[in-house]
Chain A
């Protein structure tokens, strides 16, 4: 392979694990953070947690993609952790007016989660299971959270757990500092762009729902329905993309049906308002398509050039952010359909890109 070509993943399923991880990681981090908050009896801090995870993903995903392909690069990692930490500190302390103690803990949690994404990228690229580090991080993080207490305690616990797990997962790649070859910067920039586009695709829907009509919980709570399909995609090795996407659609149909059956539970628990239930059901249907989209995006990412994968992810991001408000301008009751139409259209677009490349 020449020095100017991208390095395609040499282990089957690496791209699938990376794309599925872009959804799995944040969703699991949110669940862990919510569990810590519940453990400490803190309520109403869902948005703070969402911003911690979102900032870490935006900063960490490009570095994680680079780390999975080329090992840990010091400067991108430093930029990712530093950028996530500074942005979270500025958001919490300067904009939201939180005290320094809590803002600092939130900033550290965001930086540590960025390191965790890089570590998980390394684990996917090197084929090294990160479970031991994750288990140790979860235990120590929960212990620290319990010791400190409050919102700051939850953030400190999340930060310690993520930092420990991320460091242990990323350390093997640090033993092989990549030597950049001439002309490789452009290729690496493409990989970083793929990571950023994936992060935008994951975050565009929830953040836009938060910024516009306040139906954030309906969109965010629908995402866990995609977990079975995403877990299957992350664990699958060597299945062709189209049969895999078909199998995932079948699996997701079952998960979505189950979700619709228990669809009233979030309203009963008070997480979603009764008016938001139709939007929640539509988001549930839309989230069912995410694993199929991820499988197709992974097949695009396995190509020599990541351009198609970047394009597919950006289309999902733009549709998730813009389709709902656009439909709302036409007719207000159509706005909720954006959460359903965006993943469906993006999956179709990724399917078209895949067929176009194979023709």
Chain B
């Protein structure tokens, strides 16, 4: 590594990096002994600790039945506790999740472990740390992405995906932090992929970031819901459409808890249905193909196959919905096991599908299915 004195005068980027403070304690975030936002979980833990202290007392006195009843009560209270809110502190939620699995068998012995884990916080390696040596090209890429505020979604996904594939643990953590930034909505796709990454540390980091992204997506929908509430007429329909799109974005992000995602889909389906019915039906050229396609996609995800098929067939008939709607309709027909209709669909749209397969669609969600169907369907 060249010393600062030997750096070229024009190499301001390198000089800036070399002058950046690094090394030692200042590169790491400070150790937090009582993480913020753990009040609810800490209350539950305090209650359990008191309950288990009584269990220990009963054990010491030889009151086995009393100890058993108290212990079962603690286990039931833990099992039946309400689901954590979206803004719950993820580490405390994780500790309570582990406590739920271990308390029934370990009883009072599980409490010191939970308290110690809560006090120590996330292990250092899973915490965010400052970027390492700047000579690494992966770090240079991360620096560039961090400085550029409007990276196109496709490029962001590809670049950060490369970091997840080739980077080391700290680089992967930084890539996930960048993807979770509010200013980068395209990063949601990377987080969805990272949830099933082969590296458990990546999955752990993503799970820690997931609640804040989920909260952001739901807050965006809530803001649009408030806007739509006061509108009517054409403005109302535009606001409804924006809300439905936001709900779709949240529901199909893959980051919401399944019940919340289903609730978003159900609300979005209602909005899209209203928009489709409100559109003037002018034959193949009229109607609202976007609304029908989105309605069909939501109904398909909710499992209502007949209604989804009706909506998607209407959207595809209008011809303005594109390859995605054909893909959803094909998926719907496949799940309904109507293979004759599926073959007819592929035959009818063969030129379009082949054109899509030649373009970027080969990497899309339906690419493998398209290739299979195009190969199997007779010419």
Contacts and interface: CB of A to CB of B under 8 A. Distances in A.
Interface in A79-133: 81-82, 84-85, 100-101, 104, 108, 111-112, 114-115, 125-128, 133
Interface string A158-186: 01100110111011111111110100000
B116 A175 contact: no
A167 B125 contact: no
B101 A74 contact: yes
B105 A82 contact: yes
Contact of B198 (A1, A84, A167, A179): A1
Contacts of A172: 122-123, 126, 204
A162 B278 CA distance: 65
A1 B109 CA distance: 39
Contacts of A253: none
In this complex, the member of B59, B62, B123 whose beta carbon has the largest number of chain A beta carbons within 10 angstroms is B123
A81 B94 contact: no
B122 to A, nearest CB: 7
B105 A167 contact: no
Nearest to A86: B105
B97 interface: yes
Q: Is the interface of B mostly helix, strand, loop or mixed?
A: helix
A351 to B, nearest CB: 29
B314 interface: no
A78 B95 contact: no
Contacts of B114: 167
A174 B206 CA distance: 12
A255 interface: no
A108 B107 contact: yes
B106 interface: yes
A81 B113 contact: no
Given A7-B198, A127-B125, A179-B196, A115 B102 contact: yes
B109 to A, nearest CB: 4
B256 to A, nearest CB: 13
A77 interface: yes
B106 A111 contact: yes
A45 interface: no
Given A126-B201, A126-B204, A181-B196, A112 B101 contact: no
Nearest to A159: B109
A104 B71 CA distance: 14
Nearest to B118: A171
Interface in B187-229: 195-196, 198-201, 203-208
A171 B198 contact: no
B91 interface: yes
B112 interface: yes
A161 B122 CA distance: 21
A177 B198 CA distance: 14
B291 to A, nearest CB: 31
Interface residues of A, number: 49
A101 B206 CA distance: 44
A72 interface: yes
B98 interface: yes
A175 B90 contact: yes
Contacts of B110: 163, 167
A173 B200 contact: yes
A170 B116 CA distance: 12
A163 B126 contact: no
B105 A170 contact: no
Interface string A191-229: 000000000000000000000000000000000000000
A81 B105 contact: yes
A128 B125 contact: yes
A335 interface: no
B369 interface: no
A72 B98 contact: yes
A104 B59 contact: yes
A140 interface: yes
A88 B150 CA distance: 61
Contacts of B117: 167-168, 171
A238 to B, nearest CB: 15
Nearest to B112: A164
A16 interface: no
A163 B123 contact: no
A70 B97 CA distance: 16
In this complex, the member of B91, B113, B204, B207 whose beta carbon has the largest number of chain A beta carbons within 10 angstroms is B113
B344 interface: no
A149 to B, nearest CB: 13
In this complex, the member of A160, A163, A166 whose beta carbon has the largest number of chain B beta carbons within 10 angstroms is A163
In this complex, the member of B105, B201, B203 whose beta carbon has the largest number of chain A beta carbons within 10 angstroms is B105
B104 interface: yes
Q: Top 7 nearest A-B pairs by Cβ distance? A: A167-B113, A81-B105, A176-B204, A174-B98, A163-B109, A175-B94, A176-B203
Interface of A: 1, 3, 7-8, 10, 70-72, 74-75, 77-78, 81-82, 84-85, 100-101, 104, 108, 111-112, 114-115, 125-128, 133, 136, 140, 159-160, 163-164, 166-168, 170-179, 181
11 contacts: A8-B198, A77-B98, A78-B101, A81-B104, A101-B62, A111-B105, A112-B109, A115-B106, A160-B112, A175-B94, A178-B203
Interface of B: 59, 62, 64, 90-91, 94-95, 97-98, 100-102, 104-107, 109-110, 112-114, 116-117, 120, 122-123, 125-126, 169, 195-196, 198-201, 203-208
